[in-house]
Amino acid sequence: MKAAVIVFPGSNCDRDMAHALQDFTDVKTVDLIPHTAESVDRYDAIFLPGGFSYGDYLRSGAIARFAPVMESVVSEAKKGKTVVGICNGFQILLEAGLLPGAMKRNTNLKYICRTVNVKVENSGTRFTSDYEEGEVLRIPIAHGDGNYECDEQTYETLKMNHRIVFSYESDVNGSTGRIAGITNEAGNVLGMMPHPERAMETLLGSEDGRGLFTSVYHHWRDTHVVTT
């Protein structure tokens, strides 16, 4: 499997994401792809990392969504490729319209960095198959704009179609329905605020984030590698 980690100007979790993929999964190729790249079509999975793309000026993700590489990201997403946006990556996917809803400031108006309990609401996705449904993960959050907002109808749709993949066990930032991560309708695009790439090693406090990356890998293997 070949994975692309997109580097926007101002991304700062790009290397962490690449380490997570490289050091803890069997993914063969992990490339850091600059925001100016024309195409990412040769990759099997595309990761949008956290950070402050374009300083998060105006709104988080608002400017990054127009980075040259995004055209290809959007078209690959529409073709069904795996796309994962974490933190700022999630915000960019929202701004790009690949996922519904928007982010507002955390209710306490402060940046929050701490490890929280994140519940796996749906283990039937390509992002969560290595987790148990209902499993509670210890994963760090680190964001100022993680207060997920959507209208009632969108929320009902998300819920009904099991597209709420992760939720916070307690209200940390004001998110509608304590949503921490959602997928698109087709189920190939995931956005989540918590940082699984920061939860890869017990040495650093938790390895509960691994399942996300291994799930993505296993999904690719199961759909691409013919076993005899």
Residue 197, both tokens: 């790439």
Work out which of 112, 129, 138, 221 binds other proteins, going by CB under 8 A: 112
Query: C-beta of 8: minimal distance to other proteins in Å?
Result: 11
Q: Give the number of residues in contact with other proteins, rule: CB under 8 A.
A: 49
**For residue 48, how many other CB atoms are within 10 A of its CB?**
34
For other proteins, the closer of residues 94 and 122 by Cβ is 94
Work out which of 118, 197, 213, 219 binds other proteins, going by CB under 8 A: 197
In whole angstroms, give the CA distance from residue 18 to residue 153.
36
Identify the active-site residue in 76, 95, 121, 197.
197
Residue 4, both tokens: 């692309």
Does residue 219 carry a catalytic annotation?
Answer: no
Residues for the chain: how many in total?
Answer: 228
For other proteins, the closer of residues 114 and 224 by Cβ is 114
Q: What angle do CA 219, 148, 82 make, to 5 degrees?
A: 20
Name the one range near other proteins by CB under 8 A: 55-63, 74-82, 186-194, 212-220. 55-63
Question: What phi and psi, each to the nearest 5 degrees, are found at residue 118?
Answer: -120, 130
Query: C-beta of 110: minimal distance to other proteins in Å?
Result: 5
Residues forming the active site:
87, 195, 197
